[in-house]
């Protein structure tokens, strides 16, 4: 039978776990990448039997657009496999080449964001480490929102966060990811070029931040010194005002006392004069 013939029996893919199944580019058997318990839940699920039967690479796009509204592995109390996980297992069976994956990844907009997430997940499962970094790292700039559903319920995430999880975590969407070497190791082996962040050199950004912080600190110090000078000047002015008011009041008090003394002395003189005239 020709290798291009699509078999109607979906379980035959699982029956060829040993010899006849073609290996993925990273050397793993696609029929055994997911755990046995997860595989059994997938092939026994209603979505797999109804929506994944006889599906080819082109039909995957329609299935994702129509039925995938969140990413995740198994969810709910009975650990039901998500449509996202079922279609990922279908991709393991179809084994699309890099050209088809490129078509999946290039679609933009909110309508195809789950298609890109599915393609990224499949790349992480089946491609070699250098290809995984090369293909997935450009999508660390994708800020589109994604819904995530799991045992803890529904939460909000983003495409770039999901890609970062694929590059850094050991288990995503109820699937244990094969241990991938770190990027620094591949750079030392000259399999990858050093990655340049869209933000620029991190060390330069940290230096600029330190300079800005020091500049703000000096500005605050100058502002504090200016405020202290204004406070001291205000205190001096208030002291001068108090002194002037005190001296003015004391002078007014002395003039009052002097006027009283003068009036009293005049009265004494008059009284003495009158008494002398009376004696004469």
Task: Give the CA-trace dihedral at 180, 175, 88, 33, to 10 degrees.
Answer: 70
Question: What gap in Å lies between CA 113 and CA 144, rounded to an integer?
Answer: 7
Phi, psi values for residue 76, rounded to 5°: 85, 175
pTM of the model: 0.69
Confidence of residue 273 (pLDDT cuts 50, 70, 90): very low
* pLDDT tens-digit readout, 160-215: 999 999 999 999 998 999 999 999 999 999 898 888 776 666 666 677 777 777 76
Q: What is the pLDDT of residue 114?
A: 96
CA distances from residue 272 to 1, 11, 107, 231, 244 in whole angstroms, order as listed: 155, 144, 123, 61, 42
Residue 120 CA to residue 92 CA, distance in Å, equals 13
Asked whether the predicted pLDDT for residue 263 surpasses 80, the reply is no
């Amino acid at each position: 039978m020709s290798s291009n013939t699509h078999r109607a029996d979906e379980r035959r893919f699982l029956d060829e776990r040993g010899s006849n199944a073609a290996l993925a580019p990273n050397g793993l058997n696609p029929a055994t990448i997911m755990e046995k318990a997860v595989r059994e839940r997938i092939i026994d699920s209603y979505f797999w039997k109804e929506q994944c039967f006889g599906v080819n690479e082109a039909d995957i796009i329609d299935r994702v657009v129509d039925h995938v509204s969140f990413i995740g592995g198994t969810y709910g109390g009975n650990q039901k496999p998500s449509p996202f996980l079922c279609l990922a297992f279908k991709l393991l069976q179809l084994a699309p080449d890099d050209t088809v994956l490129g078509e999946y990844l290039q679609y933009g907009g909110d309508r195809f964001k789950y298609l890109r997430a599915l393609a990224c997940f499949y790349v992480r499962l089946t491609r070699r480490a250098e290809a995984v970094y090369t293909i997935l790292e450009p999508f660390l700039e994708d800020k589109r929102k994604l819904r995530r559903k799991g045992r803890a319920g529904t939460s909000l995430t983003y495409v770039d966060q999901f890609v970062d999880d694929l590059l850094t975590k050991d288990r995503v969407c109820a699937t244990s990811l094969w241990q991938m070497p770190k990027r620094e190791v591949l750079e030392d082996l000259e399999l990858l070029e050093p990655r340049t962040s869209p933000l620029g050199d991190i060390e330069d950004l940290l230096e600029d931040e330190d300079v800005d912080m020091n500049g703000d600190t000096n500005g605050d110090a100058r502002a504090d010194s200016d405020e202290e000078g204004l406070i001291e000047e205000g205190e001096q002015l208030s002291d001068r005002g108090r002194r002037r008011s005190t001296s003015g009041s004391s002078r007014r008090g002395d003039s009052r006392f002097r006027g009283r003394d003068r009036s009293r002395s005049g009265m004494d003189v008059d009284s003495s004069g009158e008494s002398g005239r009376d004696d004469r």
